[in-house]
Amino acid sequence: MLTFTPSPEHFFVEEIPAYDPSGTGAHTFLWIEKRGLTTFDAIARLGAALQVAPRDVGYAGLKDKQATTRQWLSVPDVDPERALAVADDGIRVLTALRHPHKLRLGHLRGNRFEVVLTGATTDEEIEALRARFADLAAHGVPNFYGGQRFGADAANAARGLAILRGERHERDRRKRRLMLSALQSAVFNRTLELRAAGGRLTEVVLGDVLRKNETGGLFVSTDPPVDQRRVDAGEVLPTGPLPGGREIEPPPDTPARALEDQAIVATGATRDDFLRLGRELPGSRRPVLLRLSETAFSEEPSGPSQARAVRLRFTLPAGGYATVVVSSLTLTSA
């Protein structure tokens, strides 16, 4: 049976930046490769080596720990040659280039993934997996947040709820943001579960907030049959909530609003709880479906044992989780 065990040998991630460093400026962008480390681990180690406070290190996104990953970081006013000379067992600085400003969270277009699944023993098993992968590439997968979003102990959403209610005080701004984001993600995941349970993950209901696939623009559905035809044609997709003060919400007294209210209550929060943080938690919307691109499927050379392996290659937009794709493929939990 083919299974996936995340490790630096079986899981590879490469960030796709939103832009390239210009070559001049007060900050230095570092293209790093890390193995067996979280992004925050890498930031701490590089900060110590370069005498830069971790809070001054910029990053576009968080990358998996049990993997070999490449991503950009930024540091203020560090000579590129000095950065390239950093020696660390788990980190390599591959490129160092100057740029005018700090790298900010979200400054990426997506990520390229390579995933190795091991344990196949028959041609039939490999061909069945190939067919399922082709189906996911054609139709997409539910856009759940992966388990790593919620912390090693899966408790970050609960911590975020305590912060939201004023029951917990977190001075570390990165940790605070991470925990609040985990709570938002829990609401979104619950929304997807409720939509899927009703057999309407991509079925438009009155009040749904829809996203235009080409431009990213959002609008509220007032005519579900018309908008359903646009979903079926690949023009738009329903979205789920990441609740906050400026989030576009389904109108009151609509089926979409009732479902999302149910999802918020299931996490122990209320809409008013999310409004209390104002600008700190603006909120946003996330498509219910995750689209794969640049897909490839290949069988790995067999070793001395009878077990065989396959390598999957695919690209996801920013915010997509490879573990969710793999769980949809292998019918396991992410």
Catalytic machinery residues = 64
Asked if 20 contacts 108 with a C-beta cutoff of 8 angstroms, the reply is no
For residue 79, the tally of other CB atoms under 10 A from its CB is 12
For residue 331, the tally of other CB atoms under 10 A from its CB is 7
Residue 105's nearest CA partner among 46, 43, 49 is 43
- Show the 3-state SS of the chain: CCECCCCCCCEEEEEEECCCCCCCCCEEEEEEEEECCCHHHHHHHHHHHHCCCHHHCEECCCCCCCCEEEEEEEEECCCHHHHHCCCECCEEEEEEEEECCCCCCCCEEEEEEEEEEEEECCHHHHHHHHHHHHHHHHHCEECCCCHHHHCCCCCHHHHHHHHHCCCCCCCCHHHHHHHHHHHHHHHHHHHHHHHHHCCCCCCCCCCCEEEECCCCCEEECCCHHHHHHHHHCCCEEEEEEECCCCCCCCCCCCHHHHHHHHHHHHCCCCHHHHHCCHHHCCCEEEECEECCEEEEEEECCCCCCCCEEEEEEEEEECCCCHHHHHHHHHCCCC
d(CA 185, CA 116): 27
